[in-house]
Structure 1
């Protein structure tokens, strides 16, 4: 089975906010902050989540002003002409082929169990993300932090446990959790996610990392693999959504997937928010799928985690994912994995009086989308037209659609440069605070003589 056909889907939590949007305010600080939970006991979570308790966990509760999706039989959730998943149901979902051990996509996706702020047994979805620590699971913040009822105090979820490749329909206990249960040791969320405002659920800050403990010295990533994170701020992509929906008509026992095309989505902005989200009308949103991974169809890169959406009141539902952006994933991974090198971009320039070239290299653990590369030419120069490039005169910016870890990408621009002995030009590549050495994000180079 090809990578495209095996990308699978996890349980969705629907958070259709019906209040009017809030205006975005001041820009966030240069380095966004993250908060970390107290140290937890992984073994205590493993002991708590017996197979019986796993089978009786409910989807995470939604804010009071969230509209719960109707059952699949009441209305058409996704119009037939918008269902892209082969063999999908009315909501766009199809079952992942068993056993879930067969592909990285289904192995590294799992069901996340926890006790919420009120002490209720709940579940979301999650995905193993590649890291230097090799113990990190990406999910939604509202799965690991929240309040109990109106006016309650925000607190961390308890007894958090991750079961990769969970199969609630398997005949044996061993097959239900083929890679075991992994208890959480710490949890990391953006400081801007308070868990109090319902708009948090529809903000870019609804993304968290769960650090699980080791099992017999083994790491989670070493056991099942992990998804390469893709730095992005939303946009148009073709993705596969994975997860374990558990609201009716689903029960959270099966891993499901949904093929989707995304578009930018503003949602309900909160104070200090920058960036955007990923929305699709090809997949409905259901409780339990929150935190499930959205993967790029061709590469299987982790582009975002599912966080919110809407019901079918307007004719059909939709789903929203938070991209792995600067102020969401960037904030938490810096705290959760301080030894990891992520957005480590570098650039080298070369050229002649007729063409300049930039070679961009990614030396970090993550891929990056829509990377700007800017050439500044000598006075009196002019840049010509090139695909993916914009600008005029002596300054032009080209955008790299994608660069992967360990990969080098070249971009060239035709130029006209006046006669000079050996004129110089400068090229810069856009990076973030995750880059440990920003000095190599800029290169000044002399052009070869005529």
Structure 2
């Protein structure tokens, strides 16, 4: 079967089939290409409040109610216990486009407010008319499970990616960071915990636990799904990518690739996130890739606490 490589947000084609009615489209956030090598978007306070109101339980559930969802994963399995520390579901609206979701992880930061995810969950690129696709209504729900929000919902006050990332058509440095507002007077790291992150070079294969919220027929985005597989590093003239035979569908983008993961504690070390998947003509993901974390992304992460 022929394959194509694509970013694993919840597919916009599915959104078109669903006919999702976007009742609230907030004004685009202010984006600026910073001189420090980042592309930073700040979100106005009123838009953050609108995002929290926008994501009702009914709207969240609607994402997984299409008849056109990808087939259920066979390698990926629904996570059997409590969601590991810091992992959660990231919701947003692409304008033009519709409602989508990715996966993100709370990582260490001085502000205790920083998420790590895929760049294409934040940078929508351009539409067929070469107009920018804006990401709005960004919120994060750590520990999401079948509608339950055990730690609450957090609005994004700013997000950024490295200016070495060239948008959804590129895999190089497909990583992004998000700074969240506190919720109920608490920072997200205080209530949801964190996963460690490392930028050191490691040799493959690496025994890896991959986590994500695929919007497929297995769990409809309502539960965390995992693969435990070895990952190998593929280096060419354009990029260095980790690859593995995991079949998580759209919605898993930005999910952590964890090494040295301890199921007993639910803790490991992020060394990549889900970027792209090779998808066959039946809509089945046949493997995943995640960009190696390089110097540009390290610099992005080190500045994230100041967003």
TM range (shorter): 0.7 to 0.9
1:373 corresponds to:
none
Moved over 6 A (4+): 313-316
TM-score (norm 2): 0.77
1:83 corresponds to:
none
Q: CA deviation at 1:36?
A: 0.6
Bigger Rg, which one: 1
Name which of 186, 195, 205 aligns with 1:218.
186
In 2 relative to 1, CA 46–335 (structure 1 residues): closer, same or farther, beyond 3 Å? same
In 2 relative to 1, CA 248–12 (structure 1 residues): closer, same or farther, beyond 3 Å? farther
2:252 corresponds to:
289
Match status 1:183 vs 2:160: no
Name which of 54, 67, 70 aligns with 2:60.
54
Match status 1:130 vs 2:108: yes
> Aligned to 2:101, what secondary structure does the other structure show?
strand
Match status 1:96 vs 2:100: no
- Segments of structure 1 that go 5 or more residues without pairing to the other structure are 1-10, 16-30, 60-67, 73-88, 171-175, 340-450
Structure 2 matches for 1:29-428, cutoff 5 A?
Answer: 33-41=37-45, 42-57=48-63, 71-72=71-72, 90=74, 92-100=75-83, 105=84, 107-147=85-125, 149-168=127-146, 176-195=148-167, 198=169, 200=170, 202-203=171-172, 205-233=173-201, 235-236=203-204, 237-266=206-235, 269=238, 276-281=240-245, 283-298=246-261, 300-312=268-280, 317-328=286-297, 330-338=298-306
For 1:364-392, what per-residue CA distance to the aligned partner results, in whole angstroms no more than 9, with x for missing partners? xxxxxxxxxxxxxxxxxxxxxxxxxxxxx
Instruction: Give, in whole Å, the separation in 1 of the partners of 2:128 and 2:293.
Output: 30
Q: CA deviation at 1:266?
A: 3.5
For 1:257-306, what per-residue CA distance to the aligned partner results, in whole angstroms no more than 9, with x for missing partners? 1101010123782xxx6xx221112x114100000011113461111110
Contact 1:234 1:323 in 2 (8 A): no
Instruction: Give, in whole Å, the separation in 1 of the partners of 2:285 and 2:156.
Output: 36
Contact 2:127 2:133 in 1 (8 A): no
> Aligned to 2:140, what secondary structure does the other structure show?
strand
> Aligned to 1:46, what secondary structure does the other structure show?
helix
Contact 1:147 1:154 in 2 (8 A): yes
Instruction: Give, in whole Å, the separation in 1 of the partners of 2:219 and 2:127.
Output: 25
TM-score (norm 1): 0.54
Q: CA deviation at 1:338?
A: 4.8
Aligned length: 267
Instruction: Give, in whole Å, the separation in 2 of the partners of 1:284 and 1:132.
Output: 35
Q: CA deviation at 1:94?
A: 1.2
1:411 corresponds to:
none
In 2 relative to 1, CA 126–316 (structure 1 residues): closer, same or farther, beyond 3 Å? closer
- Segments of structure 2 that go 5 or more residues without pairing to the other structure are 1-6, 12-34, 263-267
Q: CA deviation at 1:133?
A: 1.3
In 2 relative to 1, CA 208–156 (structure 1 residues): closer, same or farther, beyond 3 Å? farther
